[in-house]
Structure 1
Amino acid sequence: MSGTGYQFAAETLDLAVKGATAYEREDLVERLTGARHLLSDTSVTVYVVGEFKQGKSSLINGLITAPVCPVDDDIATAVPTKVGYSQQVRAVASYQSATGGESPWTEDVPVGELAAYVTENGNPGNQRRLRSMTVGLDRPLLASGLTLVDTPGVGGLGSVHNAVTIGSLPQAHAVVFVSDASQELTAAEIRFLRTVKELCPTIVVVLTKIDLYPEWKRIRDIDLGHLRRAGLDVDVLAVSSELRNVAANAGDQELNVESGFPPLVQRLQDVVRDAERVALHSVGNHVLSVVGQLEPALRSRAASLTNPARSAALVAELTRAQQRADSLRERSSGWQQILFDGFADITSDIDYDLRQRSREVLHDAEKGIDEGDPAKDWPAFEQWMRQRLAGEALENYGQFARRARELAERVAEQFDLAAQQAVAPAGIAAPVEVIEEIEIDSSFSATPKKLAGGMAAFQKAYGGFMMFTLLTHMAAIALPGPVGVGLGLLMGKSGLGEERKRQLEKRRAGAKTAVRRFVDEFNLQVGKDSRDALRRIQREMRDGYTRRAEELQRSTKEALTAAQKAVTNDEAENDELSRLKSDLDSFAMVRERAREVLSHATDRPAVAAAGRR
């Protein structure tokens, strides 16, 4: 990021803090101090997601032209790998105790042995659990603050424990979704992208392995059609990581262009620049708001000292402002009621949506059980069910985040605030990791003992033989012995078939019971997390709007007090007037600097408009 723009914004912020401190406005100082983290946090995080074996790790290696992320046909990334800037090459593993008895800790690991840690077989020992890997190296693309995160398969697309990555998407600056050119985007991928759009609006779809599939342009056009019909305004960039590596090794610029990586690199640089734009824009707005609240009292006092006859008009104007503030206070119960009713509606709707989704999963699961044999299909079936519930939880929380933002804007209207000044809810992350921790009793899926089926067949055959032999003896019918044996064998075969059918139905009933218990536990744990998140965000929004109302009320009261005091003071106070004019000039200068910060942010193109081809 550009240090000049940040430095200018930080200096402007310091001047505003100094002014607010001089006039003992601790509330405004607190707000400006809180805005400082927008300038101090220089990292920009981009998550690279997609199904297994789509080329995510190769894509990151191609971007930084270094073989950092392990790539092989028989391994797959199992934990998130963060790749950022460092002057010295370094890899740090983050662990937590498998038993939960110790605090998380980190360890340096050899960079050349990353595959032994981050792949499916790379979690050594059974007393600790690897959560993530951080790799630092010196690359120009990363020096700007960019951090690339190589993720495992995400919810609904891969192993469920990899879906934990989704919980971090609200804090991501952008998401790169990877799909190779072997086939068009699937319905599940489109559905996943629509959900990600709710959590992170900046998405780029990258079509990989174009060097292996001559029909990649047709696939790209089909993907664009799917995205357009789904209402997703997302770019599709086609790349070849193999060509990128060959071009980097040979220094061949033409081959590098053919690899398709330059537009992707440019797009990531746009994401970095856009992060700076957002930070500068927010800081500029905060400074303008604070100056706008401090200046009225100073102008009122200065005007009364210059021309006391104007004091009455100023008092009348500020009295009307006080009346508006009183009206705002009287309406406090109104906005609080809107907030309370809104969250009550969201709670009901989100809970119903979660239960409806889990009911559909349960229906599909029971249908699948009826069509198969749990003893043969259970491992694959269990994996499918965990993936499906992870995806449903993610979509449920996407609706949660959208509804919370809409409610924040509705409450802001009660304060006559613009939508961008609404108290935005904090990041809302779906607790998809709990799905991995829910256990399923699969004892019913054990293969039945052959002895039980054989015994049933023997009993049936023996009973049939005895019955036919006894009947023929009683009826004095001389049937040959082999005939009785044959009839007994037929009945034995029938008994064996009936016993197998009975055991299959017993396994299916056991599987359905296990699935129902699993879905009930899913509803219990995810529903509890959802309700806790709703209460937390409701409190945050309530406290945020209460502070805003108190800010406005105090600013208006102090301006009114200054004007009323000026009316009763007929003597010119030259020293005070000089100080007030100096302070007003200083605030005017700070306001101009804040506008310059906003202008600097506006001059930087937003990611949504950048990179269009």
Structure 2
Amino acid sequence: MTNWEAGTTAPTGPTSLTPRPRSAPDPLRGAEPWWMDTMDAVIRSCHTHGRPDLAERLTRRRARLLDSQLRVLVTGPAQQGRSRLVNALINAPVAGLLPDGDAAVPVVVRHADTPVAHLIRRDSATADWTAAVGMQSRIPLAAQRLGTSLAEALGALPAGAPVHADIGVPRSLLAGGLVLIDAPGLSLAATGSPPVAAAQDLADRAGADLVLYTCETGRHLSDTELGIVAALSQVFPGLLVVLTKADYADDWRRDLAESRQRLNRAGIGAPVTAVSSALRAHAVRTGDEALNRESGFTDLIVHLRQMAEAKPDRLARATTGTLGRIALQELAVPLRTELENQDDDGAPETVAHLQATHRRLDELRKSTVRWQNRLSDEVTDLMSDIEHDLRDRVKALLAEADEFFSTADPAKSWDEFEPWLRQSLQELAQTSMTWLTERTEWMARRTADMFPAEAGDVLPPTALAITRGSLAEVSGLDAPPVAAFTPGQKLFIGLRGSYGGIVMFGLATSLAGMSLINPISIGGGALFGGKSVRDESKTLLKRRQAEARTAVRQYVDDIFTTLNKDARDSVRRVQRALRDHFTAVTEDLQEEAMESLRNAKAAADRDAAARESRARTLRAELTRLAELHAQAQALGDRARA
């Protein structure tokens, strides 16, 4: 193995990592590294856009980038050689100390002048591993028997307590600021938190600057692992996929190539290397340099050295560029969505209200024409109907009066008939006016129906003024003049009729030899005289009845004319009252609609101005975020150059 793909070489024994001289900062930019300007600008943008959670994460990463230590998280699924990889790197048994090498006890390995180890108790499972703890949270461990001491310390603590082991060893590899973190194995089954989220949370709590993802050679990366690697590589530039146990693989070169191809197809640009911790350990024990080169650790150590040297500059710029782009994209999404929604929403509520107000005003104008036409038509119909109703009632009354006088003698029954006639006419007038009142109210409701529904109840608040029919002021009907049938008239008519009887019967009896005036002719004359008196009496009765009918008809016609005029006058008054009332209602509704229209137009203008101002603000802010994104992109491009 003589190249990166085939594995790397490294000298045997404890490896040295001597930091190379760092470039001096630009005097024109001050003492701070210039990538911090971009990071600070992104953090300020997060606060501006109400994302304190994102700002807090970036602030923590900023503080870590300013730390001189390079914290390397070694992670991956269980039983994939993570702990052996850490032990082989520093040639010391510091990881995988418990019988269950994948127990959930993270191990942080750092440089120390003498071997020292502590079990650190954290406040919670989500507490930051980099946070400083007091002496009361540190449990000393025996460096000579780490495994046993760690097991004893864990046994004295409650089950599930959040702890991690902090181990210091005197290794030159670690003296340059390298810190190795052996994290518990990742669970690829999504029984709790999703694997991707769990891996990101683990790296964040570990305070990692760099991630080594381990996978056993010959076991291809699963889709879940590809998701984990993709997510970690987005926020941890320099992530390296390490294929462990290369000495057990039938063809590690083929496995290495297939893993790289699989990562490339997934769009993951992380480099891949293959190592063998067993060969590394054996080479260190035997001092076999060729076997050490075969172990593949040389280029891995070179990669770590380069990352440690690049942290203040290249790695910090790459991390800032990556994190800045991700954060800015998150900030831009709601702004872009809001801007697009302004275009997709169509007419805003204020414009819709303005349009509705215009339609309401147009409908009100149309209703004005409709109610005026309806009122005019209803009045015309009512005039015709009330006259027809009065005529029918008068006709029925006259028919009843004619029937009465067909048998009754006006001279004898007039005092009985005249009160009945007055009472009937009074009832006729009252009934007709009551019907007229109901009809005018119905007409008012029909006219009010022509107004829009939103106008509400527009009927007059008081009852319509209809003059109730009354004949109290009409003089009574006097009896028609009746000719008196005196006894003298009766005697004269009787004698005239009896003369003919006497002559006719006298002539008939004279044939029998009797005289002209005899008892028979006298009896016939008396018979004819009585009949003449009765016939004349009947003629006079019929004349009196006809005169009574004529007088009643003329009297009723006068009453009809009066009632008809009163009814028409009442209808006219109602028409004018309704016209004035509905005109006032229309004017009030139009004024209200015009005021609403003015307010709606003003609101629409204000809303349009506000939307345009907001759109300009959104575009300006998106432009600013795009410029900041381009600045972050430039940082990443320079870091990769």
| TM-score, L = length of structure 2 | 0.40
Larger radius of gyration: 2
